[in-house]
Amino acid sequence: MRKRLNRKGFTLIELMVVVIIVGILATVAIPIYRANVRKAAASEGTALLGTVLTSQKVYYAENNTYTPTSGDLNVDTTGNKYFTAYSLSSVGATGWTATTTSSIGAADGVTVSMVYTNAAGATISYLGL
Protein backbone atom coordinates (compact mmCIF):
# COMPACT_ATOMS: atom_id res chain seq x y z
CA MET A 1 0.00 0.00 0.00
CA ARG A 2 1.22 3.38 -0.97
CA LYS A 3 0.81 6.49 1.21
CA ARG A 4 0.02 9.82 -0.31
CA LEU A 5 2.70 12.11 0.98
CA ASN A 6 1.84 15.20 -0.99
CA ARG A 7 -1.80 16.03 -0.36
CA LYS A 8 -3.30 18.89 -2.39
CA GLY A 9 -6.64 20.62 -1.95
CA PHE A 10 -8.74 22.02 0.85
CA THR A 11 -10.41 20.29 3.73
CA LEU A 12 -14.17 20.44 4.20
CA ILE A 13 -13.71 22.68 7.26
CA GLU A 14 -11.66 25.20 5.27
CA LEU A 15 -14.30 25.32 2.54
CA MET A 16 -17.10 25.80 5.08
CA VAL A 17 -15.22 28.69 6.70
CA VAL A 18 -14.90 30.40 3.32
CA VAL A 19 -18.62 29.89 2.58
CA ILE A 20 -19.54 31.37 5.97
CA ILE A 21 -17.30 34.41 5.42
CA VAL A 22 -18.78 35.04 1.96
CA GLY A 23 -22.28 34.75 3.45
CA ILE A 24 -21.50 37.31 6.14
CA LEU A 25 -20.05 39.72 3.58
CA ALA A 26 -23.12 39.33 1.35
CA THR A 27 -25.44 39.96 4.31
CA VAL A 28 -23.71 43.28 4.94
CA ALA A 29 -23.13 44.34 1.33
CA ILE A 30 -26.54 43.70 -0.27
CA PRO A 31 -28.55 46.22 1.83
CA ILE A 32 -25.89 48.87 1.26
CA TYR A 33 -25.98 48.18 -2.47
CA ARG A 34 -29.79 48.44 -2.59
CA ALA A 35 -29.74 51.74 -0.71
CA ASN A 36 -27.24 53.16 -3.18
CA VAL A 37 -29.37 52.00 -6.12
CA ARG A 38 -32.39 53.82 -4.60
CA LYS A 39 -30.33 56.98 -4.18
CA ALA A 40 -29.17 56.79 -7.78
CA ALA A 41 -32.75 56.32 -8.98
CA ALA A 42 -33.85 59.30 -6.86
CA SER A 43 -31.37 61.49 -8.71
CA GLU A 44 -33.65 61.20 -11.75
CA GLY A 45 -36.39 62.85 -9.70
CA THR A 46 -33.96 65.57 -8.66
CA ALA A 47 -33.08 66.19 -12.30
CA LEU A 48 -36.77 66.40 -13.22
CA LEU A 49 -37.43 68.99 -10.53
CA GLY A 50 -34.35 70.90 -11.65
CA THR A 51 -35.94 71.15 -15.08
CA VAL A 52 -39.17 72.33 -13.44
CA LEU A 53 -37.16 75.01 -11.60
CA THR A 54 -35.63 76.27 -14.84
CA SER A 55 -39.00 76.27 -16.59
CA GLN A 56 -40.67 78.14 -13.73
CA LYS A 57 -37.92 80.79 -13.83
CA VAL A 58 -38.42 81.22 -17.59
CA TYR A 59 -42.20 81.44 -17.09
CA TYR A 60 -41.71 84.03 -14.34
CA ALA A 61 -39.42 86.12 -16.54
CA GLU A 62 -42.04 86.16 -19.30
CA ASN A 63 -45.21 86.54 -17.17
CA ASN A 64 -44.02 88.09 -13.88
CA THR A 65 -45.71 85.23 -11.96
CA TYR A 66 -45.26 81.50 -11.36
CA THR A 67 -47.69 79.03 -12.88
CA PRO A 68 -49.65 76.44 -10.90
CA THR A 69 -50.29 74.44 -14.08
CA SER A 70 -47.60 71.93 -15.01
CA GLY A 71 -48.75 71.96 -18.65
CA ASP A 72 -47.63 75.60 -18.97
CA LEU A 73 -44.02 74.61 -18.31
CA ASN A 74 -43.55 72.18 -21.24
CA VAL A 75 -41.29 69.87 -19.20
CA ASP A 76 -40.50 66.77 -21.24
CA THR A 77 -40.30 63.56 -19.21
CA THR A 78 -39.70 61.33 -22.21
CA GLY A 79 -36.85 58.97 -21.43
CA ASN A 80 -37.35 59.09 -17.66
CA LYS A 81 -37.46 55.62 -16.21
CA TYR A 82 -38.66 56.21 -12.64
CA PHE A 83 -40.12 59.72 -12.39
CA THR A 84 -42.49 60.59 -15.23
CA ALA A 85 -44.87 63.11 -13.63
CA TYR A 86 -44.78 65.94 -11.12
CA SER A 87 -47.22 68.21 -9.38
CA LEU A 88 -47.08 71.86 -8.38
CA SER A 89 -48.54 73.22 -5.16
CA SER A 90 -48.35 76.29 -2.94
CA VAL A 91 -47.77 78.46 -5.99
CA GLY A 92 -47.65 82.12 -5.07
CA ALA A 93 -46.00 85.37 -6.03
CA THR A 94 -42.78 84.50 -4.21
CA GLY A 95 -42.41 80.76 -4.76
CA TRP A 96 -43.83 77.27 -5.20
CA THR A 97 -43.47 73.59 -4.32
CA ALA A 98 -42.98 70.75 -6.81
CA THR A 99 -43.23 67.06 -5.97
CA THR A 100 -42.58 63.88 -7.91
CA THR A 101 -43.17 60.30 -6.74
CA SER A 102 -42.12 57.02 -8.29
CA SER A 103 -43.95 53.70 -8.12
CA ILE A 104 -41.61 51.85 -10.45
CA GLY A 105 -38.63 49.57 -9.85
CA ALA A 106 -35.76 50.64 -7.64
CA ALA A 107 -37.35 54.02 -6.90
CA ASP A 108 -40.70 52.58 -5.79
CA GLY A 109 -42.05 54.74 -2.96
CA VAL A 110 -39.43 57.48 -3.28
CA THR A 111 -40.77 61.05 -3.24
CA VAL A 112 -38.63 64.03 -4.17
CA SER A 113 -39.85 67.52 -3.24
CA MET A 114 -38.51 70.95 -4.12
CA VAL A 115 -39.54 74.11 -2.28
CA TYR A 116 -38.56 77.31 -4.08
CA THR A 117 -38.76 80.85 -2.78
CA ASN A 118 -37.33 83.99 -4.31
CA ALA A 119 -35.55 84.80 -1.06
CA ALA A 120 -34.03 81.41 -0.17
CA GLY A 121 -33.79 79.61 -3.51
CA ALA A 122 -34.50 75.91 -3.91
CA THR A 123 -34.46 73.26 -1.20
CA ILE A 124 -34.77 69.58 -2.13
CA SER A 125 -35.94 66.85 0.24
CA TYR A 126 -36.35 63.10 -0.13
CA LEU A 127 -38.87 60.73 1.41
CA GLY A 128 -38.51 56.97 1.25
CA LEU A 129 -34.76 56.64 0.86
Nearest Cα neighbor of 96 from 88, 106, 107, 104 is: 88
What's the pLDDT score for residue 38? 87
Domain boundaries, the chain: 12-127
Q: Which of 101, 128, 115 is nearest to 39 (CA)?
A: 128
CA atoms within 13 A on the CB side of 56: 29
Provide the pLDDT for residue 2. Answer: 62
Q: Which superfamily is assigned to 12-127 in CATH?
A: Glycoprotein, Type 4 Pilin (3.30.700.10)
CB 88 within 8 A of CB 98: yes
* pLDDT values of the chain reduced to their tens digit, one per residue, 129 residues: 566 666 777 888 889 999 999 999 999 999 899 888 888 888 999 999 999 999 999 999 999 889 999 888 989 888 888 998 999 999 988 899 999 999 888 888 899 999 999 888 999 999 888
- Contact yes or no for 73/59 (Cβ under 8 A): yes
At 128 the pLDDT is: 85
- Return the closest-CA partner of residue 106 out of 49, 47, 42, 31: 42
Q: What is the pTM of this model?
A: 0.74
Determine the Cα–Cα distance for residues 97 and 116; give it in Å rounded to an integer: 6
Nearest to residue 100, comparing CAs of 87, 109, 115?
A: 87
pLDDT at 20: 94
- Max Cα–Cα distance, the chain, nearest Å: 99
Task: Please state, in angstroms and rounded to a whole number, the distance separating the CA atoms of residues 30 and 108.
Answer: 18
Q: Report the pLDDT value the prediction gives residue 22, as an integer from 0 to 100.
A: 93
